[in-house]
């Protein structure tokens, strides 16, 4: 962490444990800090990092994983059960799976407006051709202390996978103020975030 509200850093690391999840496409190393309620993952294929948590727990409930044939078997840190990690299953322990992206805070030495942000992502659409999955968009201009709900955007129709999603009109950002966005998807679709491109406009 860097001491900000978005990335506050960790106080207790002595009880941390780590493990690999070796999937068919992505190999991810996870490290969990139980005392902090925090799980961090690093995708060795893409070089991107992320956090993972089970709904309502803060950290991810998995405490280990092994590959058995074509299956990935996971251990549950809370009840000791074994279960299969299935990308096609969009719930975990009967709870929703929430995909979330929070960008690092950025600031400028002059006032700017942000008319456009583009999100590179992949959506594993469901088998339901009538589904219209949505993404919730939030933004902050104070380093993550307060997020404003900008609403929802559609992630596209059936069969639409790798894409660039445009987000428009975030207004004025005063110089030296920290701006960031937070994106959340709770609909039953697989989501992979690859990056965010912010296009500031100098001058008012």
Nearest of 162, 142, 165 to residue 152 by alpha carbon: 165
Cβ 103 vs Cβ 116: under 8 Å? no
Interval 19-33: pLDDT, tens = 999 887 788 999 999
pLDDT at position 190: 75
Count structural domains, the chain: 2
Q: Are residues 164 and 122 in the same domain?
A: yes
Which residues of the chain have a pLDDT value below 70?
A: 1-8, 88, 124-130, 157-161, 203-204
Is residue 86 in some structural domain? yes
Domain coverage including residue 54: 17-94
Q: Are residues 140 and 125 in the same domain?
A: yes
CA distance 194 to 202: 26
Q: What is the pTM of this model?
A: 0.70
Q: Are residues 160 and 86 in the same domain?
A: no
Q: Of 75, 94, 113, which closes a domain?
A: 94
Interval 137-160: pLDDT, tens = 999 999 888 999 999 998 876 556
8-state DSSP, 34: G
pLDDT at position 17: 95
pLDDT at position 3: 52
């Amino acid at each position: 962490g860097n001491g900000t509200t978005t990335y506050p850093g960790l106080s207790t690391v002595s009880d941390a444990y780590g493990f690999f999840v070796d999937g068919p496409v992505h190999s991810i190393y996870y490290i969990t800090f139980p005392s902090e309620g925090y799980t961090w993952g690093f995708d060795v294929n893409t070089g991107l990092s992320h956090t993972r948590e089970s709904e309502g727990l803060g950290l991810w409930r998995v405490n280990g994983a092994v590959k058995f044939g074509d299956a990935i078997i996971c251990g549950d840190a809370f009840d000791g059960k074994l279960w299969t990690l299935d990308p096609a299953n969009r719930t975990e322990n009967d709870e929703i799976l929430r995909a979330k992206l929070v960008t690092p805070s950025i600031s400028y030495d002059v006032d700017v407006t942000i008319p456009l942000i583009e999100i590179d992502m992949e959506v594993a659409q469901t088998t339901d051709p009538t589904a219209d999955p949505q993404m919730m968009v939030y933004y902050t201009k104070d380093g993550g202390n307060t997020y404003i709900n900008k609403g929802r955007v559609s992630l596209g129709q059936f069969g639409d996978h790798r894409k660039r999603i445009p987000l428009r009109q975030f207004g004025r950002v005063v110089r030296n103020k920290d701006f960031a966005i937070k994106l959340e998807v709770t609909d039953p679709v697989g989501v992979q975030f690859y990056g965010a491109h912010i296009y500031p406009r100098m001058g008012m």
